[in-house]
Amino acid sequence: MTDSYAVIGNPVEHSLSPWIHNAFAQQTGEDIAYEKLTAPRDSFESVARRFLAAGGRGLNVTVPFKLDAYDFADRLTERARAAGAVNTLALQRDGGMLGDNTDGAGLVADIRENLAWPIAGQRILIVGAGGAARGALLPLLEQQPLRVHIANRTAARAERLAREFARQGTLTGGGFEGLSEPFDLIINASSASLSGDLPPLSERLVTPSSHVYDMVYGAEPTPFMAWAAAFGAATSDGLGMLVGQAAESFMLWRGVRPETGPVLRELRVQLQAR
């Protein structure tokens, strides 16, 4: 029997999730159907319940509904609680709905497995203090970096986020002013690249031995990646994170972990051919 899944959002037409999950299904031999669901911005719950009532087994959740999905879930994973948002809903055997957040796990998997960049023992700078940064923190801290600093235009927001996660590791937060020492790993979790902007970072933060990651992805390097590459740093966009978080969702739904490498390589070819 074919099991039904979907990605729900608004807008959602651009989503690569159906292609990714169908590739995972073909690779693993799982019998699934996967579709896109556009929900009016005030109708997440009704659209989700209608899909589930028709036999749906799980949902990927994208903007602007990750907080709605958090409230919709009957129970939450630890990483969903830490993120304060849900991007994956999985129907359980008892009829309950489990909410998870796979974004941070996808980021860590891409950095460690696809890029082979170290995290343990590293000095990490996270740019931005919004939902993307929050979702990444617990999975990153579980890898035991030497320290993590959150930098944000509004320093108080970064400081507050650092305090929330202080028990998980050595964590600080603040504004961009005064940052002058290099970091081993710099992660752009801000939305700056979406508008072609650059965060106000000093060139002293990046060296030829730094690794620089932008959560945004595209056919061409982002402005953030180009900035870092000019100083000799190794760079990557977030396409592997997209595939990695999808693999975590697939594992939650189907109990089998797909290989992300072949899917990521094919998706990169398709993206560059557009």
Q: How many Cα atoms within 13 Å fall on the side-chain side of residue 172? A: 10
Alpha helices in the chain (DSSP H): 17-28, 44-53, 66-72, 78-83, 103-109, 131-141, 155-164, 223-229, 239-254, 260-273
- 38 among annotated binding-site residues: no
Is 137 part of any known ligand binding site?
no
| 62 annotated binding-site participant | yes
Phi, psi of 181 (to 5 degrees): -95, 145
Yes or no: say if 178 and 143 are a contact pair by the CB < 8 Å rule. Answer: no
What are the phi and psi torsion angles at 152 (to 5°)?
Answer: -145, 150
103 known member of a binding site: yes
- 50: CB partners within 8 A, 6+ apart: none
132 is in an annotated binding site: yes
- 128 annotated as belonging to a binding site for a ligand: yes
Q: How far apart are the first and last CA of the chain?
A: 35
Q: Is 268 flagged in the annotation as binding?
A: no
Q: What are phi and psi of 25, to 5 degrees?
A: -65, -45
Phi and psi torsions of 86, nearest 5°: -125, 130
Judge whether 66 counts as a catalytic residue: yes
Is 87 annotated as contributing to ligand binding? Answer: yes
Cα(7)–Cα(77) distance, integer angstroms: 19
* 57 appears as a binding residue in the annotation: no
DSSP 8-class letter at 260: H
d(CA 173, CA 178): 12
DSSP designation for 220? S
Selected catalytic residue, list 66, 134, 149, 211: 66
If one counts every other C-beta atom within 10 angstroms of the C-beta of residue 55, the result is: 12
Annotated ligand binding at 238? The verdict is yes
Strand ranges, E, within 39-87: 56-61, 75-76
100 annotated as a binding-site residue:
no
245 assigned to a ligand binding site: yes
- Bind-site residues for shikimate: 15-17, 62, 87, 103, 217, 245
Catalytic residue numbers? 66
- Bind-site residues: 15-17, 62, 78, 87, 103, 128-132, 152-157, 215, 217, 238, 245
